[in-house]
Homo-oligomer: A and B are copies of this chain.
Amino acid sequence: MKNITLKEIAETLGISITTVSKALKNYPDVSPRTRQAVMNLAHQLQYTPNSFAVNLRTQESKTIGLIIPEVVHHFFSSVINGIIAEAEKNGYLVIILQSNESLELEKKQVALLLSKRVDGILMSLSNESNDDEHIREIIHKGIPFVQFDKISKLIHSSKVIINDQLAAMQAVQHLIDNGCKKIAHIRGPVNPQNAIDRFLGYKKALEKNTIPFDSSLVYTCQRVSFEEGYAFAEQIKKEHPDVDGVFVITDLVAVGVLAYFNENQIRVPDDVAVIGFSNWFMSQVITPKLSTVDQPSDEMGTRAFQLLLEQMIARRDQKPFQAQTIELKTAVVQRESTRKKS
């Protein structure tokens, strides 16, 4: 039951701890004979180094922290997938924390990870985040750090993002190209950068097509939920019966919109076209199939980790490191909810 240590190997072999350690780590200054003996015994005894001791000695834990707003979320779970796969491939483990979109929790969790002395931190901001203190703390402490998806533009760090503004423009343009004249937008909360950018993209697309912007056509989610989509769909139809296109902040909400339309004999896309964002799995199985903007979630995870790894290596080797921003490609994917109008 007791875990075996270098000391025990050393004692049974009648040599020093130092030599055992060196034999195991392929140091050149140990004879083939002793190395073999050590290796054999270590293997036979199933020796595994005590990682607590290794951590203390080397001052690194080969563990990174990940803070995301939500785990039960198709997009984020895909990102997690990418991160832990890439991390494991490179010998790192991932501790996952969930901010539940709460700034307060997010701050606690940053402190927690810092006190745990993870080798790096990966983070997507909560919707409440309008305050940077805790993030600056990470950077100030010199902990490798990269933001992805929901980022703060004010923080100088590596980032993996998409061009939300452009993607949103393309989505709205797609609506227009399919004959929509009056387009509503169900946007995300006020703080997150991507909600802001998508809103800006919406505005720009209208502008480009000389469609006047009407702020009463913009509906703002608080919780970004299915229920909100459902409720806003109803509200839109009440307040603007002639709306013929809706651009929705994310697929989950868009599915709520579709649910209301379906239940109330409002034909999609004939009466109203709907386009979502993120390309959740769900979108391809509902009726009508939801058009959306595809966003490479898995890749976002792997790239984010790679960036973090670069920075962790630079730190270990005391080399300078330049923060980088990677912008991933998005693509409008057309499905049934935006078929062209005759």
Complex contact A77–B72 (CB within 8 A): yes
Residue of B at shortest CB range from A226?
B285
Which chain B residues lie closer than 8 Å to A142 at the CB level?
1
Does A112 sit within 8 A of B, measured CB to CB?
A: yes
Residue of B at shortest CB range from A256?
B285
Which chain B residues lie closer than 8 Å to A116 at the CB level?
51, 93
* B73, B77, B287: the one within 8 Å of A262 (CB): B287
Minimum CB–CB distance for A46 against chain B, Å: 9
Which chain B residues lie closer than 8 Å to A71 at the CB level?
77, 80-81, 84
Does A141 sit within 8 A of B, measured CB to CB?
A: yes
Minimum CB–CB distance for A308 against chain B, Å: 16
Does A85 sit within 8 A of B, measured CB to CB?
A: yes
Residues of A within 8 A of B (CB): 1, 48-53, 55-56, 59, 61, 63, 71-74, 77-78, 80-81, 84-85, 88, 93-98, 112, 114-117, 140-142, 226, 255, 258-259, 262, 281-282, 285-287
Q: A94-B96, A259-B285, A281-B282 are in contact. List 12 more A-B contacts (CB 8 A).
A: A1-B142, A52-B59, A55-B56, A71-B77, A71-B84, A77-B77, A84-B97, A85-B98, A93-B95, A93-B116, A95-B95, A286-B286
